[in-house]
């Protein structure tokens, strides 16, 4: 497909999800909006993910496959996909999830009509056998929006007020020129990159709209980041992301944005402590107690 005909680029990082790829990418190929491209970035999978991607690309010219020379994580893969994206709009998708077939068409039509930076929609999660429901998040929030177009700050305030905020980028349809204008990219080499990216994405957006539909279906599986056991890596990455959130306070002069950045840090630390206690990781938690307390104190400065 010629680059001038690409309306939406779907960026999909891939790592060891061979058993889900046909279903996940199939849900994108079946979109009613046909003028799209899929940029699939294999992050040195040890299964046959790359082979499947190349077979899919051979059958459909809308798929571009990038094979990373070494494993660098989801953030770097997403940034790589964004570098070569030709679409007017960007959608970040995960390689084990499912998207309703009319999603991109309806999002594109509404975004172009209202000239928005972002468009939000709802999702729901489904689990594999043996996965605890405590890892089954809900993604319903569009019912709380009363205006057809709001600022990003108004949008995130509404979600926080109704305890409906999710940092998942898979629930956001994004105008590419907005990303280029802000220069926003994913923090490389860490878990929980969505937390930082999404907060800054919302806080800088001037026009945000939504569609009250459950387009996105997230698969909760045992070997994913969401369900992985607490570890030094998990905690260190959470602390790093929290420090980045706090360092961004200087870029916002309004009290509300600064408050929301503080609030997100507190929520991340509360979630960490809660999970550590539930999992009885007392020794691990105690080794980070000073850093956690220091972060909490910074949110009140």
Give the span between the Cα atoms of 106 and 120, in whole angstroms. 11
Structure tokens at 188: 């490389």
- As a dihedral over the C-alpha atoms of residue 221, residue 227, residue 232, residue 234, rounded to 10 degrees, the angle is 100
What is the distance, to the nearest Å, from the Cα of residue 85 to the centroid of all Cα atoms in its chain? 17
Strand-pairing partners, residue 65, are 40
- The sign one gets for the Cα dihedral 290, 292, 295, 297 is negative
Give the pLDDT score at 3.
52
The domain defined by 3-220 carries CATH number 3.10.20.30? no
Q: Domain residues of the chain, as ranges?
A: 3-220, 232-298
CA atoms within 13 A on the CB side of 97: 23
Give the pLDDT score at 2.
52
pLDDT per residue rounded down to tens, the chain (301 residues): 555 689 999 999 999 999 999 999 999 999 999 999 999 999 999 999 999 999 999 999 999 999 999 999 999 999 999 999 999 999 999 999 999 999 999 999 999 999 999 999 999 988 766 444 444 567 899 999 999 999 999 999 999 999 999 999 999 999 999 999 999 999 999 999 999 999 999 999 999 999 999 999 999 876 555 545 788 999 999 999 999 999 999 999 999 999 999 999 999 999 999 989 998 999 999 999 999 999 999 999 8
Give the pLDDT score at 228.
54
- Closest Cα partner for 40 from 3, 91, 110, 114? 91
Query: Helix (H, G, I), strand (E, B), or coil: what is residue 202?
Result: helix
pTM to 2 decimals? 0.93
Residue where the block lists tokens 């809660």? 274
Give the span between the Cα atoms of 163 and 137, in whole angstroms. 12
């Amino acid at each position: 497909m010629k680059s001038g005909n690409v309306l939406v680029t779907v960026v999909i990082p891939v790592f060891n999800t061979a058993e889900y790829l046909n279903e996940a990418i199939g849900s994108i190929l079946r979109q009613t909006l046909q003028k799209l491209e899929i940029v699939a970035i294999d992050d040195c999978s040890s299964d046959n993910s790359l082979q499947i991607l190349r077979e899919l690309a051979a059958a459909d010219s809308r798929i571009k496959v990038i094979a990373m020379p070494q494993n660098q994580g989801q953030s770097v893969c997403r940034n790589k996909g964004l570098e070569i994206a030709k679409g007017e709009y960007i959608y970040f998708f995960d390689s084990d999830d499912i998207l309703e077939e009319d999603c991109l068409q309806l999002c594109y039509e509404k975004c172009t009509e209202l000239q928005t930076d972002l468009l939000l929609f709802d999702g729901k999660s489904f689990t594999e056998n043996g996965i605890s429901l405590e890892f089954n998040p809900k993604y319903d929030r569009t019912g709380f929006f009363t205006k057809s177009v709001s600022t990003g700050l108004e949008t995130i305030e509404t979600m926080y007020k109704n305890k409906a905020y999710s940092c998942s980028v898979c629930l956001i349809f994004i105008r590419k020129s907005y990303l280029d204008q802000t220069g926003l990219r994913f923090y490389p080499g860490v878990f929980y990159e969505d937390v930082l990216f999404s907060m800054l994405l919302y806080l800088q957006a001037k026009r945000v709209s939504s569609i009250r539909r459950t387009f996105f279906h997230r698969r909760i599986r045992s070997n994913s980041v969401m369900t992985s056991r607490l570890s030094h890596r998990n905690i260190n990455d959470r602390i790093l992301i929290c420090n980045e959130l706090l360092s961004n306070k200087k870029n916002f002069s309004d009290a509300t944005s600064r408050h929301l950045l503080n609030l997100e840090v507190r929520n991340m630390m509360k979630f960490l402590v809660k999970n550590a206690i539930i999992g009885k990781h007392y020794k691990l938690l105690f080794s980070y107690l000073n850093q956690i307390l220091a972060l909490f104190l910074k949110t009140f400065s």
